[in-house]
């Protein structure tokens, strides 16, 4: 019986290995989509068709690091907004886990510790919940990094329609950039250098099996990719078919033009 229980436990651990992995994302002032892929996450374009963003779905365990800030490990779904040159504009995350007031204070306290801020105001807000803040918004905190001054980290509570667990947490990391550097995309988000062989098509059907990059798929971003991109291969084949069609059509026209014409019946009558 003990052997059976041990075997079941090992099988469960093996099956849950991918989901339990913590992806560490290193961010800086000039962070690009490469930072996300290098962590082992595999973002994909949303089914909505938006060309400005990609997403991490279903939720994954992620830890973001930006300068002096090391955020707590969170199991989150993320929306990642990307500029034309691949630079990150913002990352928005939702834990999507309803929290009791005690749990909300505990989880938010980790953010306050990571951002170097006191929890006094947080404690006062939790103790007086559901009274609203002075401006009517739910409680939150934001701070800009001193090491990477363009990076700002923030979190905020969201309301949930449950009396026992009325709150959930959202977070946002965004970048302050000069207007001339904010070139918005005109084409859909594509994989960064070193990951061109991976698809970013939306997850449809069984997304859970396609949300991470395994060790066999991870490449050094300086390596040359020898495998052709599927889209480019299809486009190349399409061009060859068109060329073959045009050549065949041209040959047919020339053959018909050069073919001797039989004299008509009217011409024979006139000659007689």
* Alpha-helical regions (H) of the chain: 2-15, 17-20, 33-38, 101-114, 120-127, 230-258, 265-271
- 93 in Cβ contact with 77 (< 8 Å): yes
Model pLDDT, residue 252: 76
CA distance 45 to 210: 13
- 172 in Cβ contact with 93 (< 8 Å): yes
Model pLDDT, residue 40: 95
Confidence of residue 237 (pLDDT cuts 50, 70, 90): very low
Q: Average the pLDDT over 3-24 and give the result.
A: 51
Q: Average the pLDDT over 226-240 and give the result.
A: 37
Higher pLDDT, 96 or 30: 30
Of the segments 2-6, 14-18, 192-196, 204-208, which one has the largest average pLDDT value? 192-196
Record the pTM: 0.69
Of the segments 122-131, 164-173, 235-244, 251-260, which one has the largest average pLDDT value? 164-173
What is the tens place of the pLDDT at every residue in 138-154? 899 999 999 999 999 99
- 225 in Cβ contact with 194 (< 8 Å): yes
Residues 6+ apart with CB under 8 A from 33: 43, 54, 80, 82, 86, 88, 189, 191, 192
- 34 in Cβ contact with 221 (< 8 Å): yes
Confidence of residue 181 (pLDDT cuts 50, 70, 90): confident
Range of weakest confidence among 18-27, 181-190, 209-218, 241-250: 209-218
Model pLDDT, residue 182: 83
């Amino acid at each position: 019986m003990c052997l059976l229980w041990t075997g079941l436990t090992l099988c469960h651990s093996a099956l849950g290995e991918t989901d339990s992995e913590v992806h560490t994302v290193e961010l800086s002032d000039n962070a690009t989509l490469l930072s996300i892929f290098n962590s082992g996450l595999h973002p994909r374009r949303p089914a909505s068709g938006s060309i400005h963003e990609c997403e991490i779905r279903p939720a994954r365990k992620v830890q973001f690091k930006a300068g002096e800030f090391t955020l707590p490990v969170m199991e989150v779904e993320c929306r990642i907004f990307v500029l034309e040159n691949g630079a990150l504009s913002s990352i928005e995350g939702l834990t999507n886990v309803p929290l009791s007031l005690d749990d909300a204070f505990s989880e938010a306290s980790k953010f306050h510790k990571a951002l170097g801020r006191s929890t006094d105001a947080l404690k006062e807000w939790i103790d007086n919940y559901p009274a609203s803040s002075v401006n009517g918004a739910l409680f939150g905190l934001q701070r800009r990094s001193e090491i990477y001054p363009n990076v700002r980290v923030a979190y905020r509570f969201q309301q949930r329609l449950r009396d026992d667990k009325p709150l959930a947490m959202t977070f946002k990391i965004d970048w302050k950039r000069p207007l001339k550097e904010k070139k918005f995309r005109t084409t859909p988000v594509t994989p960064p250098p070193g990951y061109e062989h991976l698809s970013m098509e939306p997850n449809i059907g069984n997304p859970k099996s396609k949300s991470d990059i395994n060790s066999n798929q991870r490449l050094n971003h300086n390596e040359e990719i020898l495998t052709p991109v599927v889209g480019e291969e299809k486009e190349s084949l399409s061009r060859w078919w068109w060329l073959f069609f045009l050549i065949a059509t041209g040959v047919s026209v020339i053959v018909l033009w050069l073919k001797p014409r039989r004299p008509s019946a009217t011409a024979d009558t006139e000659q007689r």
